[in-house]
Structure 1
Amino acid sequence: MKQSIAESVSENDSWFFDASHLASQLLGDSIGSNLFVVGYAFQLGLIPISEDALLKAIELNGVAIDFNQRAFILGRWAAHDMDKLSELIKEEKPEFIPQDLDKLIEHRIKFLSDYQDASYADQYRHMVDRVYRAEKELGTGSQELTKSVAHVLAKLMAYKDEYEVARLYSQPDFKKKLDEQFEGNYKLSFHLAPPLLSEKEPKTGHLIKKEYGPWVLKTFNMLAKLKGLRGSKFDIFGKTEERKQERALISEYKGVIEEICQNLNADNLKLAIRIADLPRDIRGYGHVKEKAIREVKAKEATLLDEFRNHKPHQVAAQ
């Protein structure tokens, strides 16, 4: 896409940046990317309208006036000095997940209870407690391995399947955010690729997304209530290869962590943390996720081999 645009308007007349990410970090909502891009273009002299007129238009529109005006100004700043703006994100990026270990575990247990149920969250608690005890026995004062497992295991256990997508869209906060940003009779559409319903691209085998109307929200409300079927024999979505792979990742990770706990010592602790951290690199969906899993598994095999053959450092007696 970048190449096509550059060829059409020339490289000197095209600019590329992740407006959604910048807006999310600076404003707390990716929807600010719209006015952010307008501000960026304005700063480059590409919009033949005065700043006063643009700000007045935002005011007259009457929707999230302060938010949209800030987005416009930040977009101008990005065009002027993107590096400086990036520094601001690093310095002031809000951290929504607690870093204190006890609060982190508590936060993830609540999330997994909402995601599935209390029993599912207890599985997470049991595994994290196992790591905590093993790391504490080293007497090093380190909690880094436990923190790593607390983050990664929750990420793997909360894979975003059809039930979770439905739950997120069914929450009152979703509709509330829309009403804060839009007015009038706006219409929703959803671009989805349900594994059981979607066609595949002949050459790549990737699922093809289709547009669905607002009626799908009723389906989401119903599907969200069926999350208890997840992983059971009645889970029709769980029979796809992607879902089987996601469940296998959880089981395999627990196995790796159990092996680490049984052989953990002060000398191989840093190596253990590197292994425990690997699944953080598993991102995306479909073929993108499959590629990431292959890469992570290759690294894991190498590091596990090193872990298994690692010999504790011995100090010779004088």
Structure 2
Amino acid sequence: AGRVHPAAGRVRAMVGAEPGSELARLLDIRVPDLIAYQDVRYAGQYAEFVERVRRHERTSTAVTEAVARNLYKLMAYKDEYEVARLSLEQTLTQDIEARFGSGARYSYRLHPPVLRALGMKRKISLGPWFRPVFRTLRAMRKVRGTRLDLFGYAHLRRVERALIQQYRDTILEALSTARPAADLDAVVELAELPDMVRGYEQIKLDNINTYHRRRSDLLEKLRPTPVHPFP
């Protein structure tokens, strides 16, 4: 792993987690990782929302912990920039050397979206000579989600970004309508739903559709039942 960004502690302190708690442990890992994934501002958005949920929850931390895990999962979706960053991690080459010896030959097995669009169905093998391209992509991660993000125009990328804000809105709606004790399990399940958003391409899109259906069911369960006056 790389060095921890000097702003990580400041961003982490935005959340009033008890020292030594599970929430503190989650934040200690995820805040630095989101800074490395994008930048300090991006990690700050994450911490700010987790703190908002924590203040609302008060008597428990179950929902807050679920949000800390799953908002991170949605925000750290594996796009081309993230694949490049992870491929350059020192721990990757160290693990290869530890398992296969110094000087072991290796290659990256990738299936770039451009080639998929052209009809290529198989992954291609790229050797260490491709690392300069990875470094370029890693440096370009700041354009993620902007008009300059050419990869971001793909349907799946647009869906992944939309899920982040929708999840925040969903959690806030649930917290505003749920009864503190009676509906806790349903709110926790709602907060943990992104865990089902797995896989790549069509498999992930199918799982997202399942996620949306379950999300709608849980929100409907949490909404108060209308009281109709007698005629």
The normalised TM-score by structure 1 is 0.61
Cα distance change of structure 1 residues 241 and 199 upon mapping to structure 2, 3 Å threshold: closer
Structure-1 residue corresponding to 2:216: 301
TM-superposed deviation, 1:195: 1.0
Q: Give the greater-gyration-radius structure (CA).
A: 1
Structure-2 residue corresponding to 1:241: 155
Higher RCO, 1 or 2 (CA under 8 Å, sep at least 6)?
A: 2
Structure 2: distance between partners of 1:310 and 1:207: 50
Q: What SS does structure 2 have at the residue aligned with 1:258?
A: helix
**TM-superposition CA deviations, 1:240-297 (whole Å, max 9, x none):** 1111011011111011012122223322222111111111111111111111111111
Q: Aligned runs of 1:79-158 on 2, under 5 Å?
A: 100-136=22-58, 141-158=59-76
CA contact (8 A) 1:128 1:149 kept: yes
Q: What SS does structure 2 have at the residue aligned with 1:211?
A: strand
**TM-superposition CA deviations, 1:192-247 (whole Å, max 9, x none):** 1111233465xxxx954222233222211221111111111111111111110110
Question: Aligned AA for 1:264?
Answer: A
2:165 to 229, 234, 251: 251
Q: Aligned runs of 1:11-26 on 2, under 5 Å?
A: none
Question: Aligned AA for 1:171?
Answer: E
Q: What SS does structure 1 have at the residue aligned with 2:113?
A: coil
**TM-superposition CA deviations, 1:21-54 (whole Å, max 9, x none):** xxxxxxxxxxxxxxxxxxxxxxxxxxxxxxxxxx
When structure 1 is superposed on structure 2, of 243-252 and 267-276 the one drifting more is 267-276
Question: Aligned AA for 2:126?
Answer: Y
TM-superposed deviation, 1:127: 0.8
1:195 to 101, 107, 113: 113
Structure 1: distance between partners of 2:127 and 2:21: 40
2:189 to 265, 274, 286: 274
Is 1:263 equivalent to 2:181 in the alignment? Answer: no
CA contact (8 A) 1:199 1:208 kept: no
Structure 2: distance between partners of 1:255 and 1:131: 12
Structure 2: distance between partners of 1:281 and 1:228: 27
CA contact (8 A) 1:163 1:223 kept: yes
When structure 1 is superposed on structure 2, of 255-264 and 191-200 the one drifting more is 191-200
Cα distance change of structure 1 residues 186 and 275 upon mapping to structure 2, 3 Å threshold: same
Structure 2: distance between partners of 1:295 and 1:264: 23
TM-superposed deviation, 1:178: 1.4
Q: What SS does structure 1 have at the residue aligned with 2:46?
A: helix
The count of residues paired between Structure 1 and Structure 2 equals: 206
CA contact (8 A) 2:178 2:223 kept: no
Gaps of 5+ in 1: 1-97, 312-318
CA contact (8 A) 1:134 1:264 kept: no
CA RMSD after TM alignment: 2.0
Q: Aligned runs of 1:198-209 on 2, under 5 Å?
A: 198-199=116-117, 207-209=121-123
Gaps of 5+ in 2: 1-19, 227-231
Structure 2: distance between partners of 1:125 and 1:105: 8
The normalised TM-score by structure 2 is 0.82
Is 1:163 equivalent to 2:163 in the alignment? Answer: no
